[in-house]
Chains A and B, each alone.
Chain A
Amino acid sequence: AQSVAQPEDQVNVAEGNPLTVKCTYSVSGNPYLFWYVQYPNRGLQFLLKYITGDNLVKGSYGFEAEFNKSQTSFHLKKPSALVSDSALYFCAVIPGDNFNKFYFGSGTKLNVKP
């Protein structure tokens, strides 16, 4: 069965500190990996994606993510957190053997305190 895990329901960081939101996956084939962000009462917004190539991908708002094939992980990172980064973050995966299917993690609430 295909699955995406976000092991932390909530991550708390102080403004200016680095942040990491974790994601691991178990899907068929070579996956396509995404991060989305959801602000209160809004739809999801695309942040970044990994298809192939460099394991470190950069996205919107200063976020980046590191793909680790051996650990089947795709952790979201930012060097210096902002209060405005506080939101719900979702990892999403497309299996390499079915590009029509999207699998989402359960989400991680990021709280950035001033």
Chain B
Amino acid sequence: EAQVTQNPRYLITVTGKKLTVTCSQNMNHEYMSWYRQDPGLGLRQIYYSMNVEVTDKGDVPEGYKVSRKEKRNFPLILESPSPNQTSLYFCASSPGLAREQYFGPGTRLTVT
């Protein structure tokens, strides 16, 4: 089944404790992206990747890192999480530029 998977689905952590949210897609898509969803703000793009080893900042990259060492994986790293990063995070992939995206199920992160 074609899908985007994210792990974990739910995470509660404390300020400053490094964490990684994994994202994997099995559709051989070149483009992948991370978003955060906050009430009243919709989805905002954090980082995106056009292909292996090619990443760039979205609109809200501060406090986040990404890497794209393999085509299928695009992990999101929070080196020192803070409470304002409490949010619902989505990973998405698409077959190319300006194409529709396929979204993962989301990761609900709470930072206390």
Contact = CB atoms under 8 A, between A and B. Distances in A.
Contacts of B75: none
A87 to B, nearest CB: 14
Interface string B35-55: 100001111110010100000
Contacts of A103: 45, 59
A101 B101 contact: no
A107 to B, nearest CB: 5
Given A32-B98, A43-B106, A94-B98, A106 B45 contact: no
Contact of A104 (B43, B50, B105): B43
Interface stretch (A13-21, A45-53, A68-76, A78-86): A45-53
What range describes how many residues of A lie at the interface? 20 to 34
Interface of A: 4, 6, 9, 32, 34, 36, 41-46, 49, 51, 90, 92, 94, 99-107
Interface of B: 4, 31, 33, 35, 40-45, 48, 50, 56, 58-59, 90, 92, 97-98, 100-106
